[in-house]
Structure 1
Amino acid sequence: MKYIIFDFDGTLANSSDVFIKAWNVFANTYHYDPITYEDVLATKHLTLHQRAKQFNFPMHKLPMIIPKVYKYFNDHIQEVNLFDGIKEMLESLDREGYKIAILSSNAKENIELLLQTEQINAVSEVLTSSRIFAKDVVLKKFMKQQKLTPDQIVYVGDELRDILACNKVKIPFMWVSWGIDGIEIIEKENPKYVVHTPSEILNTLS
């Protein structure tokens, strides 16, 4: 195994509070329902499209809303932190010789800013997908550029769309339980690994 690729929001970054605030800031403008943290917890068993339907979110307007949400994220980056144990886990993986990358739908500027703030030097590359359901395209391109085979990569993420993307390109997937999606919708896609703490990521890969 050469590369460990991490999702960002919900996997490395504890950004749910900022995203909830951003969601609610634009709720009136785009005519969908505001949410609370309790709403997020209560819908962990639902897919993204099912959540959108429950809160009357217009998925067809996603290309208009997402850039505004990420701009809000950038303006409130000081409110975002890494989950406890993430920095130590990344540093340990780096010392063990793994190459570490991030693949996210969030803006590259936001990710790099948080990494700089948290003094994270272990990440060698930040990849972004402009479409939230097209991570498989980025992964396929990355493998071609780096001359990698799927068995040389593990992708670590928290969402159904992450594992669906990995399954399309045959990359092993590690699901983290502290993110946005629940095991109910993940397990049917057969993740290779399931972990519950950042230290478990390190122990499993080691």
Structure 2
Amino acid sequence: MIHGIIFDLDGTLVESSLDFALIKQQIGCPTDQDLLTFIDQLNCPITQQRANDIVLEHENRDANTAKALTGMVELLNYINRQNLPCAIVTRNSKTASEMKLKQNNINIDIVLTRECYPAKPAPDALNAIADQWQIHPKNLIYVGDYLYDIQAANNAGMIACFINHGIDTHYQHLADVIVKSLAELLTILKKHGIKKAL
């Protein structure tokens, strides 16, 4: 039984058109390295700040045009009616995340960004929410659209739900649940039931 649900943001609840290949090229990050890890490991504060500024510029531009994904409103409304605890954990910045939430009328109180805890696949943000809700991780589901989301859920001991948007990936077998859309996730929640938090 699911006692709470946590979502990724970009590509899960709302659109994202971030061109990570371009961003990596602009800051000199090798294509096979994680962008945020690369920036964190830069030794020069000036270079690091410049790299962060470039990422933020891309994120804010992306946030200006991001629309809700199909099925988001229905899914969040259902979760709200069930009084199910709900949160967001994203690798995005606080500024861009708040912009996306506001323009898509997403009313979720707990939103943890990379400024709050180490970025996914680190489980810190997910663990913090489990502690705050006082719900065992095995009764929480984390929903995302990328490998880091699955890894973060696995690292936190939560149910990993992967949205592949109809395109199979080589890593999706690592997830506990695989859906093609938010609508399919809603169907699963309705079918298998959820337990409201006490």
Q: TM-score range by the shorter chain?
A: 0.7 to 0.9
Find the counterpart in structure 1 of residue 193 from structure 2. none
Aligned to 1:46: none
| 1:200 positional shift | 0.9
Tell me how far apart the structure 2 counterparts of residues 162 and 177 of structure 1 sit (CA, whole Å): 12
Shift of 1:59: 7.3
| Cα distance in 1 between the residues matched to 2:53 and 2:23 | 13
The equivalent of 2:110 in structure 1 is 125
Q: 1:45 — aligned with what?
A: none
CA distance in 2, matches of 1:25, 1:151: 36
In 2, the alpha carbon distance for the partners of 1:171 and 1:90 equals 20
User: What secondary structure, in the 3-state scheme, does the structure 1 residue paired with 2:95 have?
Assistant: helix
CA contact (8 A) 1:11 1:157 kept: yes
Cα distance, 1:58–1:124 mapped onto 2, change above 3 Å:
closer
Contact map agreement 1:6 1:101 (CA 8 A) in 2? yes
Deviation by residue 1:26-59 (Cα, 9 ceiling, x = unmatched): 63x43469xxxxxxxxxxxxxxxxxx23xx8877
Pairing 1:1-206 to 2, within 5 Å after superposition = 1-15=2-16, 17=17, 19-20=18-19, 23-24=21-22, 27=25, 29-31=26-28, 52-53=31-32, 61-63=38-40, 64=48, 65-121=51-107, 123-130=108-115, 131-178=118-165, 182-187=168-173, 189=174, 191-206=175-190
Partner of 2:45: none
Against the structure 1 CA distance between its residues 173 and 67, is the aligned structure 2 distance closer, same or farther, given a 3 Å change threshold? farther
Counting matched residue pairs gives 178
SS of 1:174's equivalent? Answer: strand
State the alpha-carbon separation in 2 of the partners of residues 83 and 5 from structure 1.
Answer: 16
Q: Is the 8 A contact 1:129 1:135 kept in 2?
A: no
Checking the alignment, whether the CA contact within 8 Å between 2:142 and 2:158 is kept in structure 1 is yes
Percent identical = 24
| Runs of 4+ residues deviating >4 angstroms | 56-60
TM-score between the two structures when normalised by the length of structure 1: 0.74
The CA distance in 1 between the partners of 2:37 and 2:3, in whole Å, is 38
Quote the Cα distance in structure 2 between the aligned partners of 1:161 and 1:184.
Answer: 13
Q: Would the alpha carbon gap of residues 115 and 136 (structure 1) be closer, same or farther in structure 2, given more than 3 Å must change?
A: same
How many Å separate the matches in 2 of 1:192 and 1:32? Answer: 32
2-side partners of 1:136 and 1:2: how far apart?
A: 18
Instruction: Give the Cα separation in 2 of the matches to 1:198 and 1:6.
Output: 11
Aligned residue identity for 1:85: G
Give yes or no for contact 2:8–2:144 (8 Å, CA) kept in 1.
yes
Question: Structure 2 unaligned runs (5+)?
Answer: 41-47, 191-198
Conserved? CA contact 2:23–2:54, under 8 Å: no
CA gap of 1:59–1:107, structure 2 versus 1, over 3 A, is closer
CA distance, structure 2, for counterparts of residue 196 and residue 107 of structure 1: 26
**How high is the TM-score relative to the length of structure 2?**
0.76
Q: Residue 66 of structure 1: CA displacement?
A: 4.8
